[in-house]
Structure 1
Amino acid sequence: MANVCFLLADGYEDSEMKNPYEAMNEAGHNTVIVGLEKGVELKGKKGTVSYVSDISINEVSVSEYNAVIIPGGSAPEALRVNDEVIDFVKQANEKGKVIAGICHGPQVMISAGILKGKNSTSFIGIRDDVKNAGATFSDEEVVVDGNIITSRTPKDEPAFIREILNKL
């Protein structure tokens, strides 16, 4: 059983949070929602789901988690400008923790500087950002490079979830 944290802010892609979150719980993993603040309701951009943050980013310790999952939507834009989020992701990468981002999720990885020299995918709209961050972009449903897992869109969720579970 692994401890898995989801980095979340308002405006995430509903299914990109809901489906991996439910899959991790069904597999018996402990899931924690890390927000910019603790106890805040975070709503999906389509309004079909909402979650309350269990802990704030400034209270969290990398050593407590085996994996970090970053759903897409507009939430990664709010997360990537927060220094604690970037430090957390950098530390997780240094410790070889699984870091998984789907759709716009790799924006947080870009800001943390962890995609340089890696193979990656993402939502097509940030493809150039991924390349400019020093990654090799592949238009595939899921790309695994060491501890980093990336996917493109909600239709890729089954492959994304499968690879996260394989790593755990």
Structure 2
Amino acid sequence: MPNISNSKILIIATDGFEQSELEFPRDELRAKGAKVHVATLDGKAIKGWEGTDWGRDAEADLKIADADPTQYDALVIPGGQINPDILRTKPEVIALTKAFAKEGKAIAAICHGPWVLIEAGIVTGREVTGYTSIRTDLANAGGRVVDEPVACDSAIITSRTPDDLKAFVAKIVEEVEEGRHNQKAA
């Protein structure tokens, strides 16, 4: 049985990520013993968004294009408006997300992060949630939208806001420890 303490988690982000939505999962999962890597578009540090202005930098471990999904147990996509709006336009991000889905591995997206899941075509028929302003997008993509702290359907984990981070991380841990899932086709 997989255990969070011997798992590898990949967080993908770019400038404009919601500060807490990258830092809290990264730090909490590391505290539980997981090896957590942050991948960015160019493999360099990125700047967060906190409140109404730019926040702190997050160091990067690798480029998104160099990430090998077979080496990770889960993918985490923080929100913020800027971060996922840029990520969903990048072919390497969509290919990586689809590869995690095809492998039946946990994919967790919070706030506006589910925009990336929509672009990857993995929302249709699933129970999902997200920030209030993207719920219509989720429904239009074929998702069954709920207003809950966390929704999980076949290892696709979604949450609404930073207020849901504890439930979000708890569900990531649970899904990683359950192991691979048989996914609906991406």
Bin the TM-score by the shorter chain.
over 0.9
Written as runs of structure 1 = structure 2, the 5 A alignment for 1:148-159 is 148-159=156-167
Structure 2 spans left out of the alignment, 5+ residues: 1-5, 177-186
Partner of 2:184: none
Aligned equivalent of 1:85, options 82, 86, 93:
93
Give the TM-score normalised by structure 1. 0.97
Q: How does 1:1-150 map to 2 (within 5 A)?
A: 1-38=6-43, 40-46=44-50, 47-73=54-80, 74-150=82-158
Q: Deviations over 1:35-73 (max 9, x none)?
A: 1111x2211112443212211122111101100000000
Superposed displacement of residue 146, structure 1: 1.2
Which deviations, in whole Å up to 9, do the C-alpha atoms of 1:5-62 show, x marking residues without a partner? 0011000111111111111100100011111111x22111124432122111221111
CA shift at 1:165, angstroms?
Answer: 1.0
Q: 1:139: Cα distance to partner?
A: 0.6
The share of aligned pairs that are identical, in percent, is 37
Structure 1 runs (4+) greater than 3 angstroms displaced: none
8 Å contact from structure 1 (residues 68, 100) kept in 2: yes
TM-score scaled by length of structure 2? 0.88
Q: Is the contact made by 1:18 and 1:49 (CA closer than 8 Å) also made in structure 2?
A: no
RMSD: 0.8
Contiguous gaps of at least 5 residues in structure 1: none
Give, in whole Å, the separation in 1 of the partners of 2:163 and 2:96.
28
Deviation at 1:109, TM superposition (A): 0.4
**Aligned residue pairs: how many?**
167
The residue identity in structure 1 corresponding to 2:114 is: P
Q: State how far apart, in whole Å, the 2-side matches of 1:131 and 1:53 are.
A: 33
